[in-house]
A and B are shown apart, each in its own frame.
Chain A
């Protein structure tokens, strides 16, 4: 019978090694959902990293019927331009959203213009009809006065202010891309295919001089990109033009 009080150095070293390996395995399992489990949140897109610097972003975004209609009512696909505050926390975003409706879409909206404040207050604008397969400009920016921030859509030939809120205290972090949220969580092969992909084109970032500049590595070298399997992005021109797809480009 093992006497725990008299374990020798060899045993202790082996036990310590096993414990540390076990801990590392646990960390790995937690950090690698795509390898051993599959979670519901999938994000794909481009972002500013390391340091803030922008005051807004805009993109021309393609509208798709995403194939999420048959999923749970808490599933959605959001294609958006977003502004994050100086701490890189969600502040204001706008774009279009397509919700699941459990296979019963009779009373639900098709892909719809939306705004989201601080990842909590969501508004939809169903009177702004969107043509599937075509593209619309969306932008979020801090106001020139640095008091407010606003979300806009370019519609009927003009920029229209959808909603506004307080200042995120820019310089901020910008982000643009697609957020796919899945319920039930499970097999990635069942995730929405996004048809031929969602195009994000003519991406720009606003600087402190209130001018908009093409979002490319020269103008914004602190930019990066992100994706979560099974979704990928395919650059036409980093970071100015890309397509969000499932599996491969």
Chain B
């Protein structure tokens, strides 16, 4: 009887250690499991319209606005303008092919300081709303229903 209990007391931890090691080996051979990446993006909100989410679904409708319009609606001070940042506004971008594979870029090019800040009108986000609010938003502002009709700063009704 005592021998059985002794075997159980020794066997369980040993078995546990072996089992744990095997489990770790299956999860990620040779390294730690990846750290969590964080939650799905939450949607920004606009007073008077009911948001939903956190993911897109038939129960949520996406409303497309640029951040300049969003700041106009909400007076959200976290939307920063080039003048707030002490930088010139970047000119509208012209198509840039980037760098071809194998093309090395000298360090001195990359060490240059930023010369401009992108205006919030070029930054688009999607506000997730319940269908009734989305319908009301589109009816009020006449925009935002598709990515091709992004709401922009305007004289508000």
Q: Does B140 lie at the interface of the complex (its beta carbon under 8 Å from any beta carbon of A)?
A: no
**Contact A158:B114 (CB < 8 A) given known A226-B31, A228-B34:** yes
Please determine whether A16 and B56 come into contact, CB atoms closer than 8 angstroms.
no
Q: Does B115 lie at the interface of the complex (its beta carbon under 8 Å from any beta carbon of A)?
A: yes
Please determine whether B39 and A119 come into contact, CB atoms closer than 8 angstroms.
yes
**Contact A123:B123 (CB < 8 A) given known A134-B99, A134-B101, A164-B85:** yes
Bound Cα distance from A180 to B111, whole angstroms:
31
Please determine whether A135 and B39 come into contact, CB atoms closer than 8 angstroms.
no
Nearest A residue (CB) for B148: A107
**Contact A161:B98 (CB < 8 A) given known A13-B8, A34-B26, A116-B41:** no
Interface size in chain B (residues, C-beta < 8 A): 71
**What range describes how many residues of A lie at the interface?**
35 or more
Separation in Å of the A176 CB from the closest CB of chain B?
13
Within B1-57, which residues are at the interface with A (CB < 8 Å)?
A: 1, 4-5, 7-9, 11-12, 15-16, 19-20, 22-24, 26-28, 31-35, 37-42, 44, 55-57
Bound Cα distance from A128 to B92, whole angstroms:
9
The answer, among B9, B98, B125, for a CB contact under 8 Å with A136, is: B98
1/0 per residue A155-170: CB within 8 Å of B? 1111111111100000
Q: Does A98 lie at the interface of the complex (its beta carbon under 8 Å from any beta carbon of B)?
A: no
**Contact A63:B93 (CB < 8 A) given known A121-B41, A124-B123:** no
Q: Does B156 lie at the interface of the complex (its beta carbon under 8 Å from any beta carbon of A)?
A: no
The answer, among A20, A122, A133, A161, for a CB contact under 8 Å with B116, is: A161
1/0 per residue B86-106: CB within 8 Å of A? 010011111111111101110
Please determine whether A119 and B41 come into contact, CB atoms closer than 8 angstroms.
yes
Chain A residues with CB under 8 Å of B28's CB are: 226-228
Bound Cα distance from A131 to B100, whole angstroms:
9
The 8 residue pairs across chains A and B that have the minimum distance between CB atoms:
A119-B38, A13-B8, A134-B98, A226-B34, A159-B114, A28-B23, A161-B117, A123-B123
13 further contact pairs, Cβ within 8 A, besides A8-B1, A32-B23? A9-B5, A13-B4, A20-B16, A27-B23, A28-B22, A119-B39, A123-B124, A135-B103, A159-B112, A161-B90, A202-B104, A226-B31, A227-B31
Show 26 residue pairs from A and B whose CB-CB distance is below 8 angstroms, ordered by the A residue: A9-B1, A24-B16, A24-B19, A31-B33, A32-B26, A34-B26, A34-B27, A41-B37, A74-B55, A74-B57, A90-B37, A107-B146, A118-B38, A122-B126, A125-B118, A127-B122, A131-B97, A135-B98, A154-B110, A156-B91, A160-B117, A161-B87, A161-B90, A164-B117, A212-B111, A228-B28
